[in-house]
Amino acid sequence: MTKQQLFAQIQKKRSFLCVGLDTDITKIPEHLLEKEDPIYAFNKEIIDKTASYCVAYKPNLAFYESQGLTGWLAFEKTVAYIRQRYPDQFIIADAKRGDIGNTSEMYASTFFDTARVDAVTVAPYMGEDSVTPFLKYNGKWVILLALTSNKGSQDFQLLQDQNGERLFEKVLRQSQAWASAEQMMYVVGATQGRLFEEVRKIVPDHFLLVPGVGAQGGSLEEVCHYGMNRECGLLVNSSRAIIYADTTETFAETAGKEARKLQEEMAGMLEKYL
């Protein structure tokens, strides 16, 4: 999917919501545990009830890999289900990969040739040769961790060099030589508030994947105020606040209602800031 196609979906749906499929086997409703593949069964229902309100899905690989082979199969089946039923959705594997070149090539092949997602999250710590193997795939995206939503983001990402440049700023600046805004996005946590202004000074045109609204308490209004650009430029993720809003048999309907609430807020933000 191109940047223009993604923006067209955002305009059509009046939404820049990414639903996080962080499917924890210990949190899914009891009646689904009798199914052959409970994780996949849960995901299918969540997807069917939320697809009208979002433009992207983000399965986090930790929740699948922790279940071994069955978890990986549930991940692949989930991606195939979205592809088949909702082909306009942008699919992000939140895997936070990155290693020496030949290993990164295998990671890239895993997600782009085998699982066939649109984008994969990549950690920048090992530098250019750990990221470029993911960039060899036409039409596929790297989403580089820049300024994360967690408390520990302060440990390294805000450290300044002798010129006063913070590490997340260096990541944003330097990585632009590796790929354009047509192939690279950045993770910036919703909890970072005004720092979105600093991010936008360096990457005005890139899409940002923004986790941290909902369960982590980030403000959608603040993200949009400081982070939205003329093509929206935001994919705002919410996982737990949507998929576990209800843990009874009505979980999927409730997830749909929560996704709809966020979509309506987002439509208001697009009206206000675009």
Ligand X SMILES: O=c1ccn([C@@H]2O[C@H](COP(=O)(O)O)[C@@H](O)[C@H]2O)c(=O)[nH]1
Contacting residues toward ligand X, per CB under 6 A: 20, 22, 60, 94, 148-150, 187, 189, 211-212, 214-216, 237-241
Question: How far, rounded to the nearest angstrom, does the alpha carbon of residue 147 sit from its chain's CA centroid?
Answer: 14
The answer to whether 272 is a known catalytic residue is no
| Residues near 236 by beta carbon (within 8 Å), at least 6 away in sequence | 16, 17, 18, 190, 210, 213, 220, 223, 262, 266
Catalytic residue among 96, 151, 201, 272: 96
Q: Closer CB to ligand X, residue 84 or residue 151? A: 151
Q: Least CB distance from residue 212 to ligand X, whole Å? A: 6
Are 175 and 124 within 8 A, CB to CB? Answer: yes
Q: Closer CB to ligand X, residue 24 or residue 88? A: 24
Q: Closer CB to ligand X, residue 94 or residue 169? A: 94
d(CA 89, CA 37): 23
Token pair, residue 12, equals: 């059509």
The CA-CA-CA angle for residues 183, 150, 167, to 5°, reads 60
Q: Least CB distance from residue 229 to ligand X, whole Å? A: 20
The CA-CA-CA angle for residues 182, 185, 191, to 5°, reads 150
Q: Closer CB to ligand X, residue 8 or residue 96? A: 96
For residue 28, the tally of other CB atoms under 10 A from its CB is: 22
Q: How far is CA 103 from CA 1, 99, 123, 130, 247, in A?
A: 25, 6, 14, 8, 39
Q: Closer CB to ligand X, residue 11 or residue 216? A: 216
Q: Which residue numbers are catalytic?
A: 96
